């Protein structure tokens, strides 16, 4: 069976979906001797990220072992992590309504 998720670095607190994942699914992300199982609390599309563990508001979201932004609110393990709950100190799309409409639209 092909991989469903990818974990890029031991420090990461998010993993990336390699296929469209559904709310309620139990998914595994592994790298070397790390293996994390979570139940998804939301749909997570191909290429998008979900939290491997709870991430507190203000805490760094880590991918590739490096910070990609900070949590805008408390994120729970299994949550979809994107522009609605993670913000870059430098730049990320901040027009949430417009961006979210595009993303929601793409799911249909």
Partner 1 sequence: MNAAAIKKILGYLRPDGQLGIRNHVAIIYTVGCSLVVATKLHNLFPVGTQLFGIPSGCRLREPPLRKAVALGKHSSYAAALVVGLGCEGTEAYMVAEEIAKSGKPVEAIKINEEGGDLKTIEKGSRILTRLLQHASLAERSEMSPADLIVSTECGGSDATSGLAANPVTGAAGDLLIEAGGTYIHAETAELMGCADSLAARAVNDEVAHNIREAIVEAERRSFESGEFSWGYGNTLGGLTSIEEKSYGCLGKSGTKPLQGVLHEFERPPGKGYYIQIEQREAGSFGGDPEGVNQFAACGAHIALFTTGCGSTTGGLIPVIKVIANPKRMQLIEDNADFDATPIIRGEKTIRVMGEELYKEILAVAAGKVTKSEIYRHYEA
DSSP 8-class letter at 58 = T
Other C-beta atoms within 10 Å of 105: how many? 8
Among 47, 3, 62, 2, residue whose Cα is nearest residue 29? 3
Contact stretch for partner 1 (CB under 8 A) within 13-21, 23-31, 32-40, 51-59: 13-21
Contacts of 91 (CB under 8 A, 6+ apart): none
Instruction: Determine, following the binding rule CB under 8 A, whether residue 32 of this chain makes contact with partner 1.
Output: no
C-alpha 33, offset from chain centre = 21
Instruction: Determine, following the binding rule CB under 8 A, whether residue 10 of this chain makes contact with partner 1.
Output: no
* Rounded-to-integer distance, Cα 77 and Cα 61, Å: 12
Question: Which position among 21, 27, 63, 75 is part of the footprint of partner 1 (CB under 8 A)?
Answer: 63
Instruction: Determine, following the binding rule CB under 8 A, whether residue 66 of this chain makes contact with partner 1.
Output: yes
- 47 or 58, CB closer to partner 1? 47
Q: Rule CB under 8 A: which residues touch partner 1? A: 2-3, 6, 8, 16-18, 45-49, 61, 63-64, 66-69, 81-83, 86-88, 90-93, 99, 102-103, 106
């Amino acid at each position: 069976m092909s991989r469903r998720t990818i974990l890029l670095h031991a420090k990461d607190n998010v993993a990336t979906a390699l296929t469209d994942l559904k709310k309620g699914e139990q998914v595994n992300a592994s790298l070397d001797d790390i293996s994390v199982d979570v139940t998804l609390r939301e749909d997570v599309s191909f290429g998008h990220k979900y939290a491997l563990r709870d991430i507190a508001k203000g805490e760094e979201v880590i991918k590739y072992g490096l910070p990609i932004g900070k949590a805008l609110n408390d994120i729970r393990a299994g949550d979809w992590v994107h522009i609605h709950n993670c913000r870059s100190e430098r730049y990320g799309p901040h027009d949430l309504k417009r961006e979210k409409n595009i993303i929601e639209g793409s799911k249909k």
